[in-house]
Chain A
């Protein structure tokens, strides 16, 4: 038991795989880890399962360059070996970039994640003219409060998400956002995009932009990968 090793892996999700929901991504990884032949640790009981957890679910339709999963191993070889073994078994659309060993007492990814970077690209076809976008982003970043309508159990409610927007800027039709993420406060990029459009009085069409999650960080602003070391 005591020589078990905690590792964290970072992976990308892209192309058609953005349509695979979070629960199915978890199932995919369980099977991937088996195919790759990694010496993963299992829970006890009649239906033992891998000790595997994901930092932060990614919505269906969103691609990512910075997804995280933590895994407890019975034994490990080297980071490179394990990354290669997983990528040999990966399908197009999933790619493991790194594996690091976590200190024994490290909190898991789910507890650590505090913020995430996103890149949203507006469709050229739906928005031929985006000259207003930069001003709208600037104006919104300078506001004291950013009010959005949120659906709750009791109906629609207005909430201020200003605290959750750490950075917001744009270049052409590409918008960059650094948003709070995780259990304490989680802001979704489309909520901010809606606010940007509302600021400019523009209409946001459904399915008119691509969302890419770039990276996820802890509360000190350090990448979740930096909690561990390459081995």
Chain B
């Protein structure tokens, strides 16, 4: 039987990329809804091409659909063209598989990958016909709206819109939640009582069951559960055995080209490095590796089930995976036989990685990537980035000898304690690499100029990092810093071999506000959405003026969240979450940063961050 689409031909033929909205892809899961107890709509609040590239959704989609009583379907943000049509004609937002309205589902799960998608969450609720405020959803006639993903480690700015946040890795606690839901709904237990019971499942945060009070200076006075039976602290969920955890051997394959149009093989979770600006590095501790033999099998199965012509490895720091050489050697062999491309993540540049790269890439076209993050060694010590200038120069030299002549460098501006000398060193380091090329490669062997591209983003302090206490720069300070760096690049001898680009300043400022924001920001989001803010992470849609107006209208100053000094004993909106890494450790690391003291990575020596309490991973190796 042919599926009936939610949108008619006339609509589909008058919008960009109609294939975003029709479902029916390879490995999409169809079920008979008459035999289903729980309908779960899994949403990535951005366009299809971005959302379909996300590994987490594919994992959960596969996990939910293993349950016989549950049908999990996908939902993405309609692009602005369809958004207007749906609003004008009152077409309700639908899920891709069944094309049924999202409003009729039992759950709407929304993954929160970056702060700048927050207005898109409101769009999803709005177009679905679901009240935006959780308090207005009083019975089971509306789905339970649940959030997951990295932004749930400070869910407070969007707390009013969600019934539940799932704190931690999604593989562990959903079965308990779905079983509870089914029982409550079928036995007529009211929605509010279901949420109360759900709040007792490990990892579940039900924001309506917590009360926040503020001091005169606007900082938090108290953050407490309403009722003794509701947990005061919520510990993140963590997969203990990553090798045997659920993984999508048959991921959905989009028709249109997604950002990630390839098999993605997760090799480990977490990172041993402990860079002080990096949120993921703290959130996903401790590092857990997957067994290499299992990975080999999974890779082959996924390639066979999708027909993808490319595979890439996923982790925060692939070079730290202890079996990398064995895995990559195997993949190179299998893939060359099957004519499959391997896209390597940013590996540490050494003899091994260059050898592999030369086998799988066209050296003349590919580039080397380094992420020194800061220009001077002093600054790199502050941020605890282990990479030294010698590492970069030695890696570059090897690569130049191997025929490469393109180098990409990533930096941040606005880091704590940063001086003008530190940021000018971005240009000096780039210049040194260029000089090294001309010293290393004799004239007759050069393929034109060396091309060095340095790009900088602006540092945004994030919760659960040692820099959560840091003052963030204003957008005019950012712009000033970027122009200093630019001028320094222009004064370099080899400036024609160098290129410098930087991120947008306005967007970074807003991201900074929401990253460390609190519950009072919900009205700013509602106001901004009503003013038309949507797809804020898309430069063609982002409208800074509307945001400024929204803050003004709500009488809220963004500076409170960004440029304010935070004291050591301030209660943060996210302090009720326990990620394993303790606040004491983070504070110690903040002080080490101020003293320019480097901390060892997890394998070189344990620093007692607290993640060992999970009883698994690198903390318990050997």
Smallest beta-carbon distance B58→chain A, Å: 16
Contact B309 A15 (CB under 8 A): no
Segment from A25-33, A130-138, A154-162, A216-224 that makes contact with B: A25-33
Contact B24 A32 (CB under 8 A): no
B18 within 8 A of A: yes
Contact A35 B339 (CB under 8 A): no
Kindly state the separation between the CA atoms of A27 and B258 in the bound complex, as whole angstroms: 12
List A residues 84-132 near B (Cβ within 8 Å).
89, 91-93
Segment from A16-24, A75-83, A193-201 that makes contact with B: A16-24
Segment from B149-157, B288-296, B300-308, B380-388 that makes contact with A: B300-308
Contact B307 A32 (CB under 8 A): yes
Smallest beta-carbon distance A86→chain B, Å: 11
B19 within 8 A of A: yes
Kindly state the separation between the CA atoms of A181 and B65 in the bound complex, as whole angstroms: 46
Q: Which of B255, B304, B305, B309 contacts A20 (CB 8 A)?
A: B255
Contact A92 B255 (CB under 8 A): no
Q: Which of B23, B255, B304, B361 contacts A28 (CB 8 A)?
A: B255
A42 within 8 A of B: yes
- The residue of chain B having its C-beta at the shortest distance from the C-beta of A208 within the complex is B10
Smallest beta-carbon distance B498→chain A, Å: 28
Kindly state the separation between the CA atoms of A60 and B9 in the bound complex, as whole angstroms: 11
Chain A 129-171 interface mask (CB, 8 Å, partner B; 1/0): 0000000000000000000000000000000000000000000
A228 within 8 A of B: no
Work out how many contacts link A and B, with CB atoms closer than 8 A. 77
- The residue of chain B having its C-beta at the shortest distance from the C-beta of A61 within the complex is B13
B253 within 8 A of A: yes
Smallest beta-carbon distance B393→chain A, Å: 28
Q: Size range of the interface on A?
A: 20 to 34
Q: Which of A24, A37, A48, A207 contacts B339 (CB 8 A)?
A: A48
Q: Given A35-B304, A93-B24, A207-B9, A30 and B309 touching (CB < 8 A)?
A: yes
List A residues 167-225 near B (Cβ within 8 Å).
206-207
Contact B24 A16 (CB under 8 A): yes
Contact A91 B10 (CB under 8 A): no
B332 within 8 A of A: no
Chain B residues whose C-beta falls within 8 Å of the C-beta of A60 in the assembled complex: 13, 18
Chain B residues whose C-beta falls within 8 Å of the C-beta of A17 in the assembled complex: 24
Chain A residues whose C-beta falls within 8 Å of the C-beta of B360 in the assembled complex: 46
Contact A19 B10 (CB under 8 A): no
- The residue of chain A having its C-beta at the shortest distance from the C-beta of B307 within the complex is A31
Kindly state the separation between the CA atoms of A149 and B265 in the bound complex, as whole angstroms: 53
Contact B339 A91 (CB under 8 A): no
Contact B19 A24 (CB under 8 A): yes
Kindly state the separation between the CA atoms of A19 and B304 in the bound complex, as whole angstroms: 26
Contact B19 A19 (CB under 8 A): yes
Most chain B beta-carbon neighbours within 10 Å: one of A30, A33, A46, A61: A46
A34 within 8 A of B: yes
Q: Given A42-B339, A92-B2, A207 and B255 touching (CB < 8 A)?
A: no
Kindly state the separation between the CA atoms of A216 and B22 in the bound complex, as whole angstroms: 28
Contact B307 A15 (CB under 8 A): no
Chain A residues whose C-beta falls within 8 Å of the C-beta of B14 in the assembled complex: 206-207
B26 within 8 A of A: yes
Smallest beta-carbon distance B347→chain A, Å: 18
Smallest beta-carbon distance B3→chain A, Å: 6
Kindly state the separation between the CA atoms of A16 and B12 in the bound complex, as whole angstroms: 10
B341 within 8 A of A: yes
B362 within 8 A of A: yes
Kindly state the separation between the CA atoms of A119 and B442 in the bound complex, as whole angstroms: 66
Contact A31 B24 (CB under 8 A): no
B570 within 8 A of A: no
Kindly state the separation between the CA atoms of A207 and B305 in the bound complex, as whole angstroms: 37
Contact A19 B309 (CB under 8 A): no
Smallest beta-carbon distance A150→chain B, Å: 21
Kindly state the separation between the CA atoms of A47 and B255 in the bound complex, as whole angstroms: 21
B257 within 8 A of A: yes
Chain A residues whose C-beta falls within 8 Å of the C-beta of B12 in the assembled complex: 19, 61
B189 within 8 A of A: no
B5 within 8 A of A: yes
Smallest beta-carbon distance A25→chain B, Å: 8
Kindly state the separation between the CA atoms of A89 and B257 in the bound complex, as whole angstroms: 19
Smallest beta-carbon distance B550→chain A, Å: 37
Chain B residues whose C-beta falls within 8 Å of the C-beta of A31 in the assembled complex: 26, 253, 306-309
- The residue of chain B having its C-beta at the shortest distance from the C-beta of A18 within the complex is B9
Chain B 331-369 interface mask (CB, 8 Å, partner A; 1/0): 000000011010000000000000000001110000000
Contact B307 A30 (CB under 8 A): yes
Contact B306 A35 (CB under 8 A): yes
Chain B residues whose C-beta falls within 8 Å of the C-beta of A24 in the assembled complex: 19, 255-257
Chain B residues whose C-beta falls within 8 Å of the C-beta of A15 in the assembled complex: 2-3, 24
Smallest beta-carbon distance A227→chain B, Å: 27
- The residue of chain B having its C-beta at the shortest distance from the C-beta of A40 within the complex is B339
List B residues 33-67 near A (Cβ within 8 Å).
none
- The residue of chain A having its C-beta at the shortest distance from the C-beta of B309 within the complex is A30
Kindly state the separation between the CA atoms of A207 and B7 in the bound complex, as whole angstroms: 13
Q: Which of A21, A49, A91 contacts B24 (CB 8 A)?
A: A91
Contact B341 A47 (CB under 8 A): yes
- The residue of chain A having its C-beta at the shortest distance from the C-beta of B308 within the complex is A31
List B residues 242-258 near A (Cβ within 8 Å).
253, 255-257
Chain A residues whose C-beta falls within 8 Å of the C-beta of B338 in the assembled complex: 34
Kindly state the separation between the CA atoms of A19 and B20 in the bound complex, as whole angstroms: 10
Smallest beta-carbon distance A92→chain B, Å: 6
Kindly state the separation between the CA atoms of A146 and B471 in the bound complex, as whole angstroms: 73
- The residue of chain B having its C-beta at the shortest distance from the C-beta of A17 within the complex is B24
Kindly state the separation between the CA atoms of A16 and B7 in the bound complex, as whole angstroms: 11
Contact B26 A19 (CB under 8 A): no
Smallest beta-carbon distance B74→chain A, Å: 15
Contact B309 A16 (CB under 8 A): no
B401 within 8 A of A: no
Chain B residues whose C-beta falls within 8 Å of the C-beta of A92 in the assembled complex: 2-3, 24
Q: Given A24-B255, A27-B255, A61-B13, A35 and B24 touching (CB < 8 A)?
A: no
Contact A33 B9 (CB under 8 A): no
Smallest beta-carbon distance A181→chain B, Å: 21
Kindly state the separation between the CA atoms of A16 and B23 in the bound complex, as whole angstroms: 9
- The residue of chain B having its C-beta at the shortest distance from the C-beta of A19 within the complex is B18
Smallest beta-carbon distance B19→chain A, Å: 5
- The residue of chain B having its C-beta at the shortest distance from the C-beta of A210 within the complex is B9
Chain A residues whose C-beta falls within 8 Å of the C-beta of B19 in the assembled complex: 19-21, 24
B432 within 8 A of A: no
Smallest beta-carbon distance B188→chain A, Å: 39
- The residue of chain B having its C-beta at the shortest distance from the C-beta of A37 within the complex is B304
Most chain A beta-carbon neighbours within 10 Å: one of B18, B305, B341: B18
- The residue of chain B having its C-beta at the shortest distance from the C-beta of A42 within the complex is B339
List A residues 54-73 near B (Cβ within 8 Å).
60-61
Q: List 16 A-B contacts (CB under 8 A).
A: A15-B2, A16-B2, A16-B5, A19-B12, A19-B19, A24-B19, A24-B255, A24-B256, A31-B26, A42-B339, A46-B362, A48-B339, A60-B13, A60-B18, A61-B13, A207-B9
Known A19-B22, A31-B26, A34-B304; further 9 A-B contacts with Cβ < 8 A: A17-B24, A19-B19, A31-B308, A34-B303, A35-B26, A35-B306, A48-B339, A60-B18, A206-B10
Counting from the closest, the 10 A-B pairs by CB-CB distance are: A31-B307, A207-B10, A34-B307, A35-B307, A19-B18, A16-B22, A46-B362, A48-B339, A42-B339, A24-B255
Q: Enumerate chain A interface residues (CB-CB to B < 8 A).
A: 15-17, 19-21, 24, 27-28, 30-35, 37, 42, 46-49, 60-61, 89, 91-93, 206-207
